[in-house]
Structure 1
Amino acid sequence: MPIISRFRGIILRMYMRQKEHNPPHIHAQYGETVGLFSLENGEMFEGDLDKKMKSFVTNFILYYREQLIEMWEKQEFTTLQPIE
């Protein structure tokens, strides 16, 4: 699973598309906690990340939304820089 970005101890990954991997989303890992986040609205729909980490991931997704959706659709992954 390609790593899309790393920041504040969070690792963001995107799986190669498979039938069971819809809707478009990204996987976030922070220590032993994980979360699955929608690329449409940046909300966590599964997982146990705390509120602060969820906020960082949501802001990242909303900032890079177009690029992330394009990666999902084309299955061409690049590393994105952390946002300030």
Structure 2
Amino acid sequence: MPTISMFYGVLVSMYFMDTSEHHMPHIHVYYQDFEAVFAIPSAEQLAGNFPKNKRRLVEAWIEIHAEELMADWSLAIEGRDLFRIDPLK
């Protein structure tokens, strides 16, 4: 599970070949003891529990980097190396 970005204490990861549970492009995010799954490119929270203020940061980051996230998703489902994506600044 490569970490593709990190900002404001939030870690963003994408699993290789992770299409069985959520059936759509998505990322896994972690902050302290919280974890959640967000769809790309819609930024809808699909699972988990995440603090509201951090959730809004993740949603904004997904919107800004939707094209890069979809490119990484294509690589991930093929089991190929992912590119890092700039953090939210």
TM-score scaled to structure 2, two decimals? 0.87
TM-score scaled to structure 1, two decimals? 0.91
- Give the C-alpha shift of residue 19 in structure 1: 3.8
- Give the C-alpha shift of residue 83 in structure 1: 2.2
Identity score, percent? 27
Amino acid at match of 1:3: T
Unaligned runs of 5+ in 1: none
The 4+ residue runs of structure 1 with deviation greater than 3 A are: none
Match of 2:57 in 1: 56
Unaligned runs of 5+ in 2: none
Amino acid at match of 2:14: M
Change (3 A) 1:34 1:60: same
Higher relative contact order (CA 8 A, sep 6+): 2
Q: Distance in 2 between matches of 1:19 and 1:81?
A: 24
1:78 matched to 2:83: yes
Counting matched residue pairs gives 84
Match of 1:68 in 2: 69
Match of 1:20 in 2: 20
RMSD of equivalent CA atoms: 1.2
